[in-house]
Amino acid sequence: WKRSSLLTVAALLMAFYSVAINPMGTLGCFSGLLLSAIGVFFLVRFQWMHTGFTALAGAYLSYAYWQGFVNIDGANDATRWFLVGYWILFTTAVLVHRAKDENASQVAALASLNNAAFFFLFSFNLATFEWVPDIWRIGLVFGGLILVLSALVARFPRYPARLWHVLLPQGLALVTWGLSIKLTGHHLFISLTLEALVLAALWKRSGVPTFRVFAWIAAAIGILAALRDAHTFSYAFLIEGLLLAGFAFLMRGTPFLEFKGEKFSAEAFIASSFALIVPALGVLIHLDPALAGLWMLGTGLLFCAAHFVRPTASPLPELVWLAQFFAAVGAAVLIGANASIPELSIGVAICAALFHLH
């Protein structure tokens, strides 16, 4: 059996080499698809993992060699769709393969390499050394498909957990990447923060650390995008602030400080800080100073009032304490802005309400 498997690997390598140097692209890709099917058959029938890896490497590398060195005119619109067949074939092999504990890592590696090779070769033209125009759409669609596969794998216990742990981050990374490429301005940071909220909710429900990591990645990219566009006035920054407040609530982890009976989480503190900073930079600095000061005082009153509703168990104490500081800065801005008598009267009334709640 060992000698037979080695002969099979050698035969596959020689066959794929002949495919790579074939100047007829469509015929060569079809031959590569047939050879891949043979390698997958040996993988599923005899559990020969090395034939699966050989077939995968041969299929994608022969296509890459043909496109980069043989395909003179650089056209790949028709032949690139054979990559879809390669991906479906090897993905089916991973799902059908009777994985055991001792080769779970190999199965996960085969799935990971299959996804990576397909995405790169389908998105990048090696003949012209350029990305295809619709790369963002490929990232979103393919990333979503991988997420569906990861959910399918996680649902059935016959698949090793390592396979799900490989598919999930790949799908999340592609979806986040696709959104980052396609969207700009407030559409980008609101979409990414919504994604972060969904991932934070999934982490809260399942406890899977991958959701937590990618929730922070999506939130961080969204915050950076918002800060980059803070020079333009938009009320979308207020929506971003509310979304970040929800994100801070969901991401409350292990407390690092206890003060006056309240437990404070570092993650929630960071997210709450940006929930106030982003609207301040995107909206308040573009307003009249007196009006901005009133906005800041009103924000502090709003969150302190929410804390007053549940004084013994605030859902987000980090934001409440930061909002009080935010209100103090707003009072200083209002005083230094030469505000009118009506504006000062409103500010004094808000300060009185804040002191009462405190």
Helix (H) or strand (E) holding 75: none
> Is 261 in a helix, a strand, or coil?
coil
Give me the chain's average pLDDT, please: 81
Q: At 48, give phi and psi (nearest 5°).
A: -90, 95
Please state, in angstroms and rounded to a whole number, the distance separating the CA atoms of residues 200 and 195: 9
Confidence of residue 184 (pLDDT cuts 50, 70, 90): confident
Mark out the alpha helices in 283-340 (DSSP H runs): 289-309, 317-336
Q: What is the pLDDT of residue 325?
A: 79
- The answer to whether residue 207 scores a pLDDT higher than 90 is no
- The answer to whether residue 4 scores a pLDDT higher than 50 is yes
Helix (H) or strand (E) holding 258: strand 255-259
Structure-token match 């590398």, residue found:
61
Burial of 66 per CB tally in 10 Å (0-12, 13-18, 19+): buried
Half-sphere exposure of 71 (CA within 13 A, CB side): 26
Residue of 36, 31, 38 lying closest to 79 (CA atoms) = 31
Q: Are 139 and 116 in contact (CB under 8 A)?
A: no
The string of pLDDT tens digits covering residues 95-135 is 887 766 667 888 889 999 999 999 999 999 887 888 888 89
Tokens describing residue 336: 């230094």
Q: What is the pLDDT of residue 6?
A: 78
Cα distances from 6 to residues 51, 53, 59, 79, in angstroms, run 9, 13, 18, 30
Q: Are 64 and 87 in contact (CB under 8 A)?
A: no
Scored b (16 or more CB within 10 A) or e, 114-147 reads bbebbbebbbbbbbeeeeeeebbebbbebbeebb
Confidence of residue 356 (pLDDT cuts 50, 70, 90): low
The string of pLDDT tens digits covering residues 243-263 is 998 898 888 765 555 555 566
Mean pLDDT value across residues 134-144:
93
Q: Does 235 or 78 have the greater pLDDT score?
A: 235
- The answer to whether residue 160 scores a pLDDT higher than 90 is no
Cβ neighbors of 253 (< 8 A, separation 6 or more) are 265, 266, 267, 268
Cα distances from 28 to residues 18, 57, 127, 296, in angstroms, run 9, 15, 16, 66
- The answer to whether residue 1 scores a pLDDT higher than 50 is no
Choose from 44-53, 215-224, 301-310 the range with maximum mean pLDDT.
Answer: 215-224
Amino acid sitting at position 171:
G
Half-sphere exposure of 273 (CA within 13 A, CB side): 7
Confidence of residue 313 (pLDDT cuts 50, 70, 90): low
Residue of 184, 296, 199 lying closest to 229 (CA atoms) = 184
The string of pLDDT tens digits covering residues 24-82 is 567 778 888 898 898 888 888 878 888 889 889 988 988 888 887 777 665 556 778 88
Q: At 245, give phi and psi (nearest 5°).
A: -65, -40
Structure-token match 């168990």, residue found:
313
Indicate the angle between helix axes 104-123 and 161-182, nearest 10 degrees. Answer: 20
Residue of 217, 199, 209, 321 lying closest to 264 (CA atoms) = 321
Choose from 64-68, 161-165, 170-174, 268-272 the range with maximum mean pLDDT.
Answer: 170-174
Scored b (16 or more CB within 10 A) or e, 333-356 reads bbeebebeeebbebbeebbebbee
Helix (H) or strand (E) holding 218: helix 209-228
Confidence of residue 347 (pLDDT cuts 50, 70, 90): low
Cα distances from 306 to residues 237, 323, 352, in angstroms, run 21, 11, 16
Residue of 106, 107, 102, 104 lying closest to 92 (CA atoms) = 107
Q: What is the pLDDT of residue 343?
A: 65
Q: What is the pLDDT of residue 11?
A: 83
